[in-house]
Amino acid sequence: MCNLRGLLPRCALLLALGAGCGAAPEDLAAEGPPEGIGSSQHALSSIDCGESSDVGYSNGNAFTIKLVTVDGKKVEKTTANAYYVMAQAAAAAGVHLKVVSGFRTMAEQTYLYNCYTSCSCNSCNLAAKPGYSNHQSGHALDLNTSASGVLGWLNAHGAAHGFKRTVPSEAWHWEWWGGGPGGGPCGSCKPSCKGSKIVSSDCGEGDCAAYGATCADDAKGVRCVSVFCPALGSKKVCVGQSLIGECKDGAIATGDCGAFGAYCSTAGAPEARCVSVFCVASPSDPPKPKSVCLPNGKLASCNGDGALTSAVDCPTGQSCAGASGDARCEAPASPTRAARQPPTPERRRPRCLPTRRRSSSRRAGSRRPRSAVAPPIGGSRTAASSRAPRPPPRARSRCSASSRCSRGSRGAERPELHALACSRR
Ligand SMILES: [Zn+2]
């Protein structure tokens, strides 16, 4: 492959002939010595942090590059900061660095490349293909390495400031890709809030409101904090009826109570928690210990936090009944229980209708709801009653409120032949 060390003439020849050289990226950044590298500079590097933008290129791809001015040359902002910190350190050692060439536009790089390929200008010096020079990506600086003590100081201390000499044949070409002590005078804003907007240390602005947050500036620094959370400390909060959020210094992580058949609730508690929908009527209903019937028929217990602590099947023959808070397992209503209930107006006037259907059902021993056996007089007639001939008036019996239909006589079983007997209760 093409290594510039010792092979430069051959590579240059191949490039001139339009053949591929197989050059590594750093080779592509190589170019001839700029004017001024040998001039003696005694003044300290100067820097102007006034920003401008231009089109930078990295591996042929265009991007917006932010530039400031160092020693009268445009330099990419972060490279400028790193360089200036290094230049200050060199000055402290009595060595005066100066930027001779910094950022290059596409037009400038195209000019240098044409000089190189046509050998008609710039001393036929090597220049990277337009779009591929690291002077266009903002990482490369050509420094005054011919000045007294400069190259020696850079060789000894450049690396500690993140600067590296990348083209062996070009002592003046140094690149910065990060590293060093940090700092620098440009683009360093004090992080702050502007309403809901946050200003970062690189002077960029973002709107916390776009994330359902607001900007906070306190002991934890400048940051976006959720509108559902306190800016400092930890707390669980509700985000709507279903979502529960865990806040930590304004940051929030959410979970869904709804996935567990629960509401998020703060009712009756200092912090949010998931509360079973079977234990409260709504998220604003404070939970309390109680018994409830679940839709699956189990008898369950809710604790004071609205959590179901147990759910059991009722014993055989019983089912869960009763309102929330008074739920219990109980047997279905028995005749005895029904007899204890106060008589209704209907019961005060029992009607003993002497039909075959009524007596046969009694023989079978089944107890059916009254309405299923005999609809109230004047009500709709069933198909069975339509088929049965209406009994003669004398066959009908109406017992008074204080009597009941006799079940003991054979006559009661043959109502079409015998009137039902009424007996005292
Ligand atoms: Zn260079």
What is the distance in A from the centroid of ligand 1 to the CA of 19?
23
Q: Tell whether 191 is covered by a domain.
A: no
Question: How many Å lie between the centroid of ligand 1 and the Cα of residue 182?
Answer: 23
For residue 174, report the distance from its CA to the centre of ligand 1, in Å.
7
Whether 279 is in a domain gets the answer yes
- Residue 287 near residue 268 (C-beta atoms within 8 A): yes
Measure 146 CA to ligand 1 centroid, in angstroms. Answer: 14
207 C-alpha to ligand 1 centroid (Å): 39
Q: What is the pLDDT of residue 417?
A: 35
Q: Which of 176, 194, 229 is the last residue of a domain?
A: 176
Residues 109 and 33 grouped into a single domain: yes
Q: CA-based diameter of the chain, in Å?
A: 142
Residue 203 Cα to ligand 1 middle (Å): 29
Pair (29, 111) in one structural domain? yes
* pLDDT class of 56 with cuts at 50, 70, 90: very high
Residues 12 and 154 in one domain: yes
Task: Provide the pLDDT confidence category of residue 278 given band limits of 50, 70 and 90.
Answer: very high
Q: 230 alpha carbon to ligand 1 midpoint, in Å? A: 52
What mean pLDDT do residues 100-129 have? Answer: 93
Average pLDDT over residues 103-110: 97
**pLDDT of residue 249 exceeding 80:** yes
The count of structural domains within the chain is: 3
Nearest-CA neighbor of 113 among 99, 100, 98, 130? 130
Pair 77, 51: CB distance under 8 Å: yes
Q: What distance in angstroms lies between residue 394's CA and the mean position of ligand 1's atoms?
A: 128
- Report yes or no on 229 lying in a domain: no
Q: Are residues 399 and 267 in the same domain?
A: no
Q: What's the number of CA atoms in the CB half-sphere (13 Å) around residue 162?
A: 21
Q: Are residues 281 and 314 in the same domain?
A: yes
CA dihedral 102, 105, 110, 116 (to 10 degrees): 0
Give me the CATH number covering residue 144. 3.30.1380.10
Q: How far is the CA of 94 from the centre of ligand 1 (A)?
A: 24
* pLDDT at residue 218 is higher than 60: yes
Out of 176, 195, 223, a domain closes at: 176
> Between these two residues, 420 and 134, which has the higher pLDDT value?
134
The parent domain of residue 297 ranges over: 254-332
What's residue 153's pLDDT? 98
Ligand 1 mean position, distance from CA 383 (Å):
108
Residue 86's closest CA among 187, 171, 179, 168?
179
Give the highest mean pLDDT range of 19-28, 310-319, 366-375.
Answer: 310-319
Instruction: Tell me: do 285 and 357 sit in the same domain.
Output: no
Is 234 within the bounds of a domain?
Answer: no
Tell which residue, 28, 170, 37, has the closest CA to residue 109. Answer: 28
Whether the predicted pLDDT of 72 surpasses 50: yes
Please report whether residue 373 resides in a domain: no
Classify residue 74: in a domain, yes or no: yes
User: Near ion ligand 1, which residues have CB within 5 Å?
Assistant: 140, 142, 173
What integer pLDDT is reported at residue 155 of this predicted model? 98
User: Cα(142) to centroid of ligand 1, in Å?
Assistant: 5
Same domain assignment for residues 171 and 28:
yes
Regarding whether 305 and 357 lie in a shared domain, the answer is: no
Confidence of residue 188 (pLDDT cuts 50, 70, 90): low
Strands 403-405, 213-218: pairing kind: unpaired
Tell whether 44 and 84 lie within a shared domain: yes
- Within this chain, do residues 9 and 101 fall inside the same structural domain, yes or no? yes
The tokens of 170 are what?
């070009």
Single residue among 133, 159, 176 that ends a domain in this structure: 176
Confirm whether 187 is domain-assigned: no
Which neighbouring-strand residues pair with 62?
Answer: 57
Among residues 237, 273, 279, which one has the least CA distance to residue 257? 273
CB 45 within 8 A of CB 98: yes
Residue 173 in this model has a pLDDT that exceeds 90:
yes
Residue 93 alpha carbon to ligand 1 centre in Å: 25
Residue 159 inside a domain? The answer is yes
Whether residue 353 sits in one domain with residue 327: no
Same domain, 271 and 402: no
